[in-house]
Copies of this chain bind each other. A is one copy, B any other.
């Protein structure tokens, strides 16, 4: 079965710390796309394995959701979207008003 140079889904899961289920889910979400054998088996190569490992790290360090990552991808590929979002954020963020607001939010959370 080995097919050295590429791991099948269970092996890739064991290697990266994800579950096989999640590897399929990540493919569904378009975040990590393995090749397939003729029979349809997923094949994870080095680049996919690294991608999976660094994805865990990303989530751990920054608390990112998968949907947010998918959205970041949309931002790069859809210039129109990117510009609209940028424009919207720009008109908000020049007033420094929300800094104080975040301060208050933080206080609210601490009080709980």
Binding site for B on A (CB under 8 A): 30-33, 35, 47, 50-51, 54-55, 58, 61-62, 64-65, 67-69, 71-73, 75-78, 81, 84-85, 87-89, 91-93, 95, 97-98, 101-102, 105
Contacts and interface: CB of A to CB of B under 8 A. Distances in A.
Contact of A30 (B30, B33, B76, B101): B101
A109 to B, nearest CB: 12
B69 A68 contact: no
Contact of A102 (B30, B71, B93, B95): B30
A72 to B, nearest CB: 5
Given A67-B65, A92-B51, A30 B85 contact: no
